[in-house]
Amino acid sequence: MKRTKIAGIGKYLPENVVTNQDLTQYMDTSDVWIQERTGIRERRYGHRTEETTATMGIEAAKIAIERAGTTAQDIDFIIFATLSPDYYFPGCGVLVQRALKMKEVGALDVRNQCSGFVYALSIADQFIRTGTYKNILVIGSEKQSFGIDFSTRGRNVTVIFGDGAGAVVLQPADKEYQGILSTHLHSDGEFAENLAMFNPGTHANHWNEKNYATFDTAEIGQMFMTHAMINNGETYPRMDGPVVFKKAVVKFPEVIMEALQANNLTPADLNMLIPHQANLRIAQFVQQTLKLRDDQVYNNIQYYGNTTAASIPIALCEAWEKKLIKDGDLVCLAAFGSGFTWASTLLRW
Ligand SMILES: CC(C)(COP(=O)(O)OP(=O)(O)OC[C@H]1O[C@@H](n2cnc3c(N)ncnc32)[C@H](O)[C@@H]1OP(=O)(O)O)[C@@H](O)C(=O)NCCC(=O)NCCS
């Protein structure tokens, strides 16, 4: 069985730069607070109407497809990871298939938030290894700016997130040393409500004593989205930051070590770790725990914020464009996020 290689990679960031200072016009926050707690200086926001999660993903995909030396018509499967899809349904994958005039290939949307891209890679890896598909397009893209709370109430979430997209084309590896060595996926639903967007949804407050949605006297047909939910700000994502932080700094090193040990390798063997860009403080903590040098870890959250499913392919692409990743390098991708879910991939470039 041939391994799976990344044959082409691309990224797309909207032009509109939003600084920490810019956010102070909407909410009570400060550049100092945001930089101290998260490392973020600025993020990008997609154009109100001209850039969507799908269109940004499509732009990143075009670059990845070209760099893979292939065409959109050669792609035989699409996997799209996002938590901010253009439509509640159908998923963004079919919008990519239509826009790039692809064949009537399968299109799968992955709903694993910050771990979405690594989960998507893992799925693609199985299809390539078994010889089912030869050119798989995997996209991670987010337009977070559309769905977050710009009042002070939502500041702990809103200052963190940004928009953007990354994409890869995966193919069977031609060189023996090259490709994905292993992927490792995990979840713990005990924490499902600690980082979540509850509404609109079908939960009807079933899962928790806390009321995550106000239904008033709404009847069944009106319960999906009520005016009260909107008025109470219940349609925005919510996060218990300290709980996320504490779990992330344990699970990131754990899943990275799992990948290394599965391949009889150690942190010292790593040429590059691309952690999901959740928070610079988390990435620094992970670096310290694994005793990695600065040149073994790539971070760009300072400029793009946390772009959820897009953060790993954006960072991987940027590191590769800067020639920080070379042929044969050992690269680890690691993610943690809502669910909680966490995951890693170890590959030779
Ligand atoms: C979100 C995070 C930066 C908050 O930092 P923290 O030190 O844990 O802060 P807390 O949530 O305990 O809040 C501390 C105070 O800062 C305030 N605060 C929160 N967001 C703020 C903001 N953007 N600006 C200014 N003050 C803010 C809080 O209201 C709170 O005030 P209080 O003490 O008066 O109640 C931090 O918890 C974190 O990074 N968690 C991980 C988040 C993450 O990575 N998410 C993505 C996962 S994929």
| Residue 221 clears pLDDT 90, i.e. is over it | no
**Averaged pLDDT for residues 125-137:** 98
306 tagged catalytic: yes
Biggest CA–CA distance in the chain, Å, is: 64
| Residue 151 clears pLDDT 70, i.e. is over it | yes
Q: How does 285-306 read in b/e, with b if 16+ C-beta sit within 10 Å?
A: bbbebbebeeebbbbbbebbbb
Cβ of 275 closer than 6 Å to ligand 1, yes or no, is: no
> Model confidence at 209, in pLDDT bands (50, 70, 90)?
low
| Residue 243 three-state SS | helix
| Residue 1 clears pLDDT 90, i.e. is over it | no
In this structure, the residue with its CA closest to atom 4 of ligand 1 is 241
Q: What is the pLDDT of residue 195?
A: 97
Cβ of 241 closer than 6 Å to ligand 1, yes or no, is: yes
> Model confidence at 218, in pLDDT bands (50, 70, 90)?
confident
What is the atom index within ligand 1 of the atom nearest the CA of 156? Answer: 20
Give per-residue pLDDT as tens, 68-120.
Answer: 999 999 999 999 999 999 999 999 999 999 999 999 999 999 999 999 999 99
Closest CA to 10 of 180, 165, 173, 179: 165
Q: What is the pLDDT of residue 155?
A: 97
Residue whose CB lies within 8 A of the most ligand 1 atoms, among 28, 37, 280, for a mutation test: 37
3-state secondary structure 326-344: CCCCEEEEEEEECCCEEEE
- DSSP state string for 38-87: H---EEE---TTT--HHHHHHHHHHHHHHHTT--GGG--EEEEE-SS-SS
| C-alpha separations of 200 from 5, 37, 88, 111, 232 in Å | 38, 30, 9, 15, 13
Q: What is the pLDDT of residue 220?
A: 80
> Model confidence at 210, in pLDDT bands (50, 70, 90)?
low
Cβ of 153 closer than 6 Å to ligand 1, yes or no, is: no
Q: Among 20, 92, 114, 184, which one carries the catalytic annotation?
A: 114
Cis geometry, peptide bond prior to residue 146 (ω within 30 degrees of 0): no
- Whole-model pTM: value is 0.97
**Averaged pLDDT for residues 124-132:** 98
Alpha-carbon gap, residue 66 to 48, rounded angstroms: 28
276 tagged catalytic: yes
Q: What's the mean pLDDT when you consider all of the chain?
A: 96
**Averaged pLDDT for residues 325-330:** 97
Cβ of 159 closer than 6 Å to ligand 1, yes or no, is: yes
Share of the chain above pLDDT 90, in %: 93
| C-alpha separations of 238 from 164, 198, 244, 308 in Å | 21, 8, 11, 14
| Residue 222 clears pLDDT 90, i.e. is over it | no
Closest CA to 108 of 338, 127, 51, 316: 127
